[in-house]
């Protein structure tokens, strides 16, 4: 089966956004009357849209944004977690927290890194500026969230459209570039036979600084008396402050006289046994072995009633593009390969973070493949553009051509000053040749004393010399009552008619313009 990847769609969307900085894009308003034929994607429809252009406005590259669907957090919803083996294209894997959901004034977006084995989300992450790596673990439901970016209420109200939210002004909050994101347990409800033991450190010998070997004396009522019983397992030490250190047990011995255990551990990586102190708590656990092309990842399990139900990443490591993981079998009292045993190995696999780490590029990570084109017409535009009559179509046009420089605003009406003016808005004004055949036809868009503005003047007529219209200043203008009018002065638009690539067009109920008009346009494009 062929697959068009989300990365491809994302790249195409990004290229489109970048194209605004090197090409001219305009919003064109077209047609006083709705035209059903424009509803299809034919060349005729696109030409007809251009032929009926009334005015336009240039769109700058700061008015184009990648967007994502607004997926407001809803308590009780099961959200999909990030998984490097999963297609998240149609999944609920991120949330938008509204101000009322977090007692804040802005809108915040979080990506789900862990969903506690498909548990419902009941607690929203509570943003904190100084939270390490901007990763949030919610105690109530066991979820892990990664903060991605925020949007002010002002920007939300300005840009959100049709259920989409722009990704703008974000700062990278990257964490664990190509690190092991988590260790997923495929059989978290059926693995069995694992044990753990907790206690406190009662003594630490002065180490052999040459070899880095430490001997730590442990106190616990549940220590096994068998020599080497815990060899090869993890021992995790935790300070009252919460600082955690993880080591492999090289040798376990039991002191029957004092009912204590003695473990030998060795410094490795950046774990330093010097940080272990008397009265630190300890926990002995099955060891998680991680192998791959990166380095530094460490993880330990959480055991409940004999089952490994969760695995905590002690260190995420970095540089992984491929990795495998396994739970090392304890040396004793774990026999999953014999008949009639309840013991069952945990089947686990690493989940690797994306290139750059979570939070490095929200546009890519949130699978954005939609683009918002945002622009508006305000009181400044109204001093240059028509402020009367209606329009029923808008479109996105790339690289229209002009007789001069590309303007910021386009008034595409022909302006005439007549000796007398009996014309009214909506009248059809024409020009005729000596055989009374129509060579130019238009619709009166606006009338101001003896000045008239004409639209819809492109048709099946021969253009006059050095222009893109068939209007001829040397001919009379003819009214619907066949009255001929003398043209005193005229202005032809700088827009070269019917030029430019129509990338998008839409129709709607006629919008009437006045000098007080203030319109916003939010166009969502999907790639």
Same domain? For 222 and 155 the reply is no
How far lies 516's CA from each of 238, 374, 377, 388, in Å? 68, 20, 10, 10
Same domain membership, residue 396 and residue 504: yes
- The pLDDT tens digits for 395-410 are 999 999 999 999 999 9
> Which runs of consecutive H residues, i.e. helices, occur in 325-468?
362-365
Q: How confident is the model at residue 269 (pLDDT cuts 50, 70, 90)?
A: low
Q: Are 293 and 180 in contact (CB under 8 A)?
A: no
130 plus 209 within the same structural domain: no
Question: CA-CA distances (angstroms) from residue 116 to 94, 96, 138, 140, 349?
Answer: 15, 20, 10, 11, 15
Same structural domain, 405 and 276: no
- 8 A C-beta contact, residue 69 and residue 95: no
Answer yes or no: do 86 and 154 share one domain.
yes
At 176 the pLDDT is: 67
Is the whole model's pTM more than 0.75, yes or no?
yes
Strand partners, 137: 144
- Of 285, 311, 331, which residue constitutes the final position of a domain? 285
Residues 507 and 454 in one domain: no
Task: Find the domain containing 382 and state its range.
Answer: 23-65+378-412+493-527
**How confident is the model over 315-371, as pLDDT tens digits?**
999 999 999 999 999 999 999 999 999 999 999 999 999 988 999 999 999 999 999
> Do 429 and 473 fall within a single domain?
yes
In this structure, are 399 and 509 located in the same domain? yes
Q: Is 158 exposed, middle or buried (0-12, 13-18, 19+ CB in 10 A)?
A: middle
User: Quick one: which of 479, 460, 478 has its CA closest to 470?
Assistant: 460
**pLDDT, averaged across the chain:** 93
Q: Identify whether 13 is part of a domain.
A: no
Backbone phi and psi for residue 22, each to the nearest 5 degrees, phi listed first: -120, 0
The DSSP secondary structure of 51-63, one letter per residue, reads HTEEEEEEE-GGG
Q: Are residues 312 and 398 in the same domain?
A: no
Higher pLDDT, 104 or 305: 305
Query: Does residue 191 have a pLDDT over 80?
Result: yes
Domain count, the chain: 5
252 within some domain: yes
């Amino acid at each position: 089966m062929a697959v068009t990847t989300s990365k491809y769609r994302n790249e195409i969307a990004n290229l489109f956004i970048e194209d605004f900085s090197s090409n001219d894009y305009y919003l064109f308003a077209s047609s006083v009357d709705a035209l059903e034929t424009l509803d299809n994607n034919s060349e005729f429809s696109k030409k007809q849209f251009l032929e009926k252009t009334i005015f336009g406005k240039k769109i700058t590259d700061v008015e184009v944004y990648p967007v994502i669907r607004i997926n407001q957090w809803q308590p009780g919803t099961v959200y999909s977690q990030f998984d490097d083996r999963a297609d998240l294209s149609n999944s609920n894997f991120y949330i938008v927290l509204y101000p009322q959901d977090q007692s804040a004034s802005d809108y915040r977006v979080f990506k789900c890194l862990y969903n506690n084995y498909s548990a419902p989300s009941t607690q929203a992450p509570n943003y904190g500026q100084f939270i390490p790596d901007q990763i949030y673990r919610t105690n109530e439901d066991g979820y892990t969230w990664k903060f991605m970016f925020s949007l002010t209420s002002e920007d939300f109200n300005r840009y959100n459209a049709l259920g989409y939210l722009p990704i703008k002004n974000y700062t990278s909050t990257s964490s664990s570039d190509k690190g092991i994101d988590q260790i997923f347990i495929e059989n978290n409800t059926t693995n069995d036979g694992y044990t753990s033991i907790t206690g406190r450190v009662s003594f630490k010998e002065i180490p052999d600084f040459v070899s880095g070997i430490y001997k730590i004396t442990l106190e616990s009522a549940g220590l096994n008396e068998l020599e080497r019983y815990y060899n090869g397992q993890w021992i995790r030490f935790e300070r009252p402050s919460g600082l955690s250190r993880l080591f492999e047990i090289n040798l376990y011995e039991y002191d029957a006289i004092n009912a204590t255990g003695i473990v030998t551990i060795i410094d490795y990586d950046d774990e330093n046994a010097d940080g272990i102190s008397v009265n630190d708590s300890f926990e002995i656990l099955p060891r998680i072995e991680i192998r791959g092309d990166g380095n530094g990842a460490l993880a330990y399990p959480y055991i409940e009633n004999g089952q490994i139900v969760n695995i905590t990443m002690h260190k995420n490591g970095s540089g992984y593009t491929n990795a495998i993981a396994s739970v090392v079998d304890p040396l004793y009292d774990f026999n999953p390969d014999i008949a009639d045993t309840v013991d069952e190995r945990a089947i686990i696999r690493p989940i690797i973070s994306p290139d750059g780490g979570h939070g490095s590029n929200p546009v890519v990570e949130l699978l954005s493949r939609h683009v918002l084109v945002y622009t508006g017409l305000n009181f400044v535009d109204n001093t240059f553009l028509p402020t009367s009559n209606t329009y029923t179509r808008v479109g996105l046009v790339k690289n229209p051509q002009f007789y001069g420089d590309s303007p910021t605003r386009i008034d595409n009406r022909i302006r005439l000053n007549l000796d007398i003016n009996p014309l009214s808005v909506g009248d059809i004004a024409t020009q005729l040749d000596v055989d009374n055949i129509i060579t130019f036809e238009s619709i009166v868009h606006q009338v101001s004393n003896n000045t008239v503005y004409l639209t819809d003047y492109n048709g099946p007529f021969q253009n006059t010399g050095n222009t893109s219209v068939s209007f001829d200043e040397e001919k009379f203008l003819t009214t619907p009552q066949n009255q001929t009018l003398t043209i005193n002065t005229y202005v032809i638009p700088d827009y070269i008619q019917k030029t430019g690539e129509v990338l998008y067009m839409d129709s709607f109920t006629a919008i009437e313009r006045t000098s007080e008009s203030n319109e916003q346009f939010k166009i969502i494009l999907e790639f």
